[in-house]
Amino acid sequence: MSSPSPCLRILFVCLGNICRSPAAEIIFQKVVDDAGLSDHYKIDSAGIIGHHHGSPPDSRMAESLKRQGFRIHGRARQINAEDLLEHDLIITMDETNLADVKSLAPDASLHGKIRPFVSFCRFHKDPRVPDPYYGGQRGFDHVIEMLKDGCKGILESVSKC
């Protein structure tokens, strides 16, 4: 029997698509796989800028993720206007990403599906997922803890599909 088509298409967005959003994609994929819901979701990530197009996740983020048992996958790409139409939920890492994605929308009726990642966090109260790019390894570990919290929150909030 063929697998059902995904009921929800989710896109994670950050600035470069090499640190936060690919990590969110990897972590959310594991959350849905562990829940036996792999067929229900199509999960992707993209960046506001295309500077890192084709690059794998940043080696420091990959290192922190691997240490926690996550499998690394994905190549960076830039978000485009079609992404706004093709995805049901677009989850941004900080306020600037949120404003930038909204500005890509052809009309404001699409703004409702663009949501800040932190709105799904159950325990972390940070106003944004901080950009770890210019910091040290501990910044990457902190981002992963936030992403694990929020990814479980996403599944709780959309689990009816």
Strand, coil or helix: 127: coil
Q: How far is the CB of 154 from ligand 4NP (least distance, A)?
A: 18
User: Based on CB atoms, which residue is closest to ligand 4NP, 59 or 159?
Assistant: 59
- What is the closest distance, in whole angstroms, from the C-beta atom of residue 21 to ligand 4NP in the complex? 6
CA distance 50 to 79: 8
Q: For ligand 4NP, which is the closer residue by CB, 40 or 61?
A: 61
> Taking the CA of residue 86 as centre, how many other CA atoms within 13 Å lie in the half-sphere pointing to its CB?
11
Give 125's DSSP letter: -
Please, which residues bridge with residue 116 across strands? 92
Q: Which CB sits closer to ligand 4NP, 44 or 131? A: 131
CB closer to ligand 4NP, 40 vs 98: 98
Instruction: Tell me how far, at minimum, the Cβ of 59 lies from ligand 4NP, in Å.
Output: 12
Minimal CB distance to ligand 4NP: which residue?
16
Please give the residue ranges that form the binding site for ligand 4NP (CB under 6 A). Answer: 14-20, 51, 131, 133
Q: How far is the CB of 36 from ligand 4NP (least distance, A)?
A: 29
Q: In 15-54, which residue ranges form alpha helices assigned H by DSSP?
A: 20-34
In DSSP notation, 78-96 reads B--HHHHHH-SEEEESSHH
20 is catalytic: yes
Using CA atoms in the order 58, 60, 63, 68, what is the torsion angle rounded to 10 degrees? -100
Q: Would residue 131 show up in a list of annotated catalytic residues for this protein?
A: yes
Catalytic positions, written as ranges: 14, 20, 131
